[in-house]
């Protein structure tokens, strides 16, 4: 099987699974318990926190473990909105965010907040000037993703963070679920206050992740409960999941994401030679994502045809592909409905090899004329 759906979920690394299994058996006790098995589980969590913090160049107490990207995004956005509501009730975000940011903002609108959704340009890139223009005296938070999950476009997060330094009362949240470990981001230089990361996008496990929360920044907790994670995220900690997340992040240090880019760029180069392809991924993109359309052939039809060849790709993001709605992101980029309906996303990982890339192109060359012929016979 050729697995090209790594933006949806990556395959967990074998050693991550090993860490999870061993930690799950040995450190099963409740980390909040006073007895020594509980304290050992707590020590495991704190070791993982320190390792992750050290690799990121931040303090251990700036890491809050969560169940993944969706929770981290909700905690950052709703948590800031609630804590700082006395300061203002306006949030700036973009039209191209993941639903866990976009819908969290929609929820806040229902609760009396106002949100400005900044549009991207036709390459799917947000302009820092448009972010600045959207800021008002009431703005408490700007939330902009680092790497777009459908197109792979890398947003000018550093530039946005630099301009936000002029607005000390505005906090800056970055959804880095698709960028972490693949596109470098200097949190200090970019003045990032909150950053969301998910384990299953980096060969860790589903249900693991964290929110980086800079010292001095507050979020109101989403859950009421036992006050774990320094009162910010109640719920018995997933000690084995946390240890496996630290392992997955340590492994990132040993891999070079630019090797993935070589494969993605090879595929891009091959696709560009075919007149039936329209590419939506701009050059300013992450190494692992390529989004394109084959106009006239529905995205889901091509997904299934490729699956018969044991090639796993997706139409848009995993969450929106089942909803059968045109992608909000492509719409915001002014991509026509016809092109949006025929969009395909491939997303690679460090486990892909060049032979698969050539097999993928060969498969497209075989499949596309057959599907086009079938379509012509129907019309």
Nearer to ligand PLP, 38 or 207 (CB): 207
Nearest to 85 by CA among 191, 190, 174, 171: 171
* Nearest distance from C-beta of residue 222 to ligand PLP, angstroms: 14
The DSSP result for 56-74, as a single string, is HTS-GGGEEEESSHHHHHH
CB of 155 closer than 8 Å to CB of 186: no
Nearer to ligand PLP, 16 or 294 (CB): 16
How far is residue 377's CA from residue 360's CA, in Å, rounded to a whole number?
26
Report which residue's Cβ sits closest to ligand PLP.
69
Burial class of residue 369, CB neighbours in 10 A (0-12, 13-18, 19+) = exposed
* Nearest distance from C-beta of residue 195 to ligand PLP, angstroms: 11
* Nearest distance from C-beta of residue 206 to ligand PLP, angstroms: 7
* Nearest distance from C-beta of residue 29 to ligand PLP, angstroms: 26
Nearer to ligand PLP, 151 or 317 (CB): 317
Nearer to ligand PLP, 319 or 371 (CB): 319
What single-letter DSSP state applies at residue 153?
A: B
Residue 14's SS3 state is helix
* Nearest distance from C-beta of residue 45 to ligand PLP, angstroms: 19
Nearer to ligand PLP, 70 or 315 (CB): 70
Give Cβ neighbours of residue 360 (< 8 Å, ≥ 6 apart).
2, 4, 267, 311, 346
How far is residue 144's CA from residue 67's CA, in Å, rounded to a whole number?
21
Pairing verdict, β 289-293 and 278-279: antiparallel
CB of 329 closer than 8 Å to CB of 155: no
Residue the block writes with tokens 């909150």: 194
Residue the block writes with tokens 């690799």: 55
**Given the residues 95, 278, 312, 319, the one annotated as active site:** 319
Element (H, E) at 266: helix 257-272
Nearer to ligand PLP, 128 or 288 (CB): 288
Pairing verdict, β 194-198 and 171-175: parallel
Give Cβ neighbours of residue 16 (< 8 Å, ≥ 6 apart).
203, 204, 205, 244, 247, 248, 251
What single-letter DSSP state applies at residue 199?
A: G
CB of 108 closer than 8 Å to CB of 246: no
CB of 371 closer than 8 Å to CB of 295: no
Q: Is 105 among the residues known to form the active site? A: no
* Nearest distance from C-beta of residue 97 to ligand PLP, angstroms: 8
* Nearest distance from C-beta of residue 69 to ligand PLP, angstroms: 2
Nearer to ligand PLP, 42 or 176 (CB): 176
Q: Which residues bind ligand PLP (CB under 6 A)?
A: 68-70, 73, 98, 100, 145, 149, 175, 177-178, 198, 200, 209, 317
Positions annotated as catalytic residues are 319
């Amino acid at each position: 099987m050729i697995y090209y759906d790594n933006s949806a979920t990556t395959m967990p690394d074998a050693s991550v699974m090993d860490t999870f299994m061993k930690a799950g058996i040995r450190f099963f006790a409740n980390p909040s318990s006073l007895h020594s098995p509980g304290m050992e589980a707590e020590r495991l969590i704190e070791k993982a926190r320190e390792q992750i913090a050290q690799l990121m160049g931040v303090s251990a107490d700036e890491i809050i473990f969560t169940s993944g990207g969706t929770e981290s995004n909700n905690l950052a956005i709703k948590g800031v909105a609630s804590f700082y509501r006395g300061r203002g009730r306006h949030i700036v975000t973009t039209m191209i965010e993941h639903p866990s940011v976009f819908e969290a903002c929609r929820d806040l609108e229902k609760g009396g907040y106002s949100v400005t959704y900044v549009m991207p340009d036709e390459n799917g890139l947000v302009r820092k000037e448009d972010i600045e223009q959207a800021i008002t005296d009431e703005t408490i938070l700007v939330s902009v993703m680092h790497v777009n999950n459908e197109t792979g476009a890398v947003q000018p997060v550093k530039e946005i963070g630099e301009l936000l330094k002029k607005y000390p009362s505005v906090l800056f949240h970055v959804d880095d679920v698709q960028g972490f470990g693949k596109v470098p981001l200097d949190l200090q230089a970019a003045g990032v206050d909150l950053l969301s990361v998910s384990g299953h996008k980096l060969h860790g496990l589903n249900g693991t992740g964290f929110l980086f929360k800079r010292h001095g920044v507050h979020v109101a907790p989403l859950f009421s409960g036992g006050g774990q994670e320094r009162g910010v995220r109640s719920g018995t900690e997933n000690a084995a999941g946390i240890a496996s997340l630290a392992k997955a992040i340590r492994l990132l240090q040993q891999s070079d994401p630019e090797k993935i880019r070589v494969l993605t760029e090879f595929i891009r180069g091959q696709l560009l030679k075919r007149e039936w392809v329209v590419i939506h991924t701009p050059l300013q993109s992450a190494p692992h994502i390529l989004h394109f359309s084959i106009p006239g052939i529905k995205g889901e039809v091509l997904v299934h045809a490729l699956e018969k060849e044991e090639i796993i790709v997706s139409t848009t993001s995993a969450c929106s592909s089942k909803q059968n709605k045109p992608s909000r992101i492509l719409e915001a980029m002014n991509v026509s409905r016809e092109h949006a309906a025929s969009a395909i996303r491939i997303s690679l990982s460090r486990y892909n090899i060049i032979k698969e890339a050539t097999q993928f192109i060969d498969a497209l060359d075989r499949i596309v004329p057959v599907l086009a012929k079938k379509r012509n016979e129907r019309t």
